[in-house]
Amino acid sequence: MTEFPYANGRVFLQGFSDEEAAEVMDVVDRMADLEAQVRLVRTWRSYRTTTFIPGPGSRLAYDDQEAPLGVSVSLPARIGVHAAREHLDVAVMLWEAEWIASPAAWSSLCRPAQLNAAQVIWMLAPPQQDERITRALITAADECAQEKKQAEDVVRYALLPPHRLDDARAHIAELTESRRRLCAELTRRGCTRPNFNATAVVQWAAEHLHPGDVVKQYSHMFMWRVGSGAAHGKVWPVPMLARTPEKYDDYIDARQALEPSHLHMFFTAATAMLQAALTLLEQQTSAGEE
């Protein structure tokens, strides 16, 4: 009989080898930690109506004041934490409903939550105001590009009356000019790569959050890349996500056995990012915290 310490006492596993028992206890420990993270996300429901408007004299109020071309540093950060929290809140609902054997759904919730929070960290964490504003400009230029694509779809599919299509074309021209001015300002600031890169943002945030800890940094990137494949219905992540995939005759069966360590890794990677993002946003919107 193998004895293992556990948070709530000691667990005795009979009929297991030491290796098998260690594997079982690793799962138990991960699930216990996941339950703790679920409880943390439930507490964040109190933020539902929090606006995070920068207080007078706060760092973010000053950043917004100094940012050129009407760009806001605070608004994408405020939107980002709410989007991250909402994704994780729905993941908690999956957990509570015991629908966790759904790798695409779990990935589709945890992965964007991590990105939402990583963007906030990436934008707010630099100590230099000039860098924070530069990153807000990069974000604004990307927003223009993405909104322009949506407006072009409206025109392409003629989804509006003729006079409204003229308005849509005018809006496309405005977005084109806004992005041109933003890119010109970024060039003036010495930014040679003004394009927003989500993977680079997640990597930067992971390295900022866990300096020197390559294991935790890797866990964020694993979730980002493998989670992307799972969320987009790709084949290659299935063996990485399924527990003992060699036991299954078909990948469809294997998909239904999500590896507990990946459940844990996906969720805790996202909650760690959001916790750091919330801390930054609360600090930088507090009055007199410039």
Structure tokens at 249: 């005759």
Buried b (16+ CB within 10 A) or exposed e, 13-25: beebeeeebeeeb
Q: Among all chains, which residue has been given the structure tokens 């908690």?
A: 92
Query: pLDDT band at 27, cuts 50/70/90?
Result: low
Query: pLDDT band at 207, cuts 50/70/90?
Result: very high
Pairing type for strands 9-13 and 2-6 reads: antiparallel
- Which SS3 state, helix, strand or coil, does residue 3 take? strand
Structure tokens at 143: 């927003």
Q: What pLDDT score does 249 carry?
A: 58
| Cβ atoms 105, 262 nearer than 8 A | no
Query: pLDDT band at 54, cuts 50/70/90?
Result: very high
| Cβ atoms 110, 269 nearer than 8 A | yes
pLDDT digits (tens, 9 = 90+) for 87-141: 999 999 988 887 666 777 888 899 999 999 999 999 999 999 999 999 999 999 9
Most distant pair of Cα atoms in the chain: their distance: 79
Structure tokens at 239: 């063996």
Residue 163 to residues 44, 147, 159: CA-CA distances in angstroms?
Answer: 45, 20, 11
Query: pLDDT band at 4, cuts 50/70/90?
Result: very low
The model's pTM: 0.87
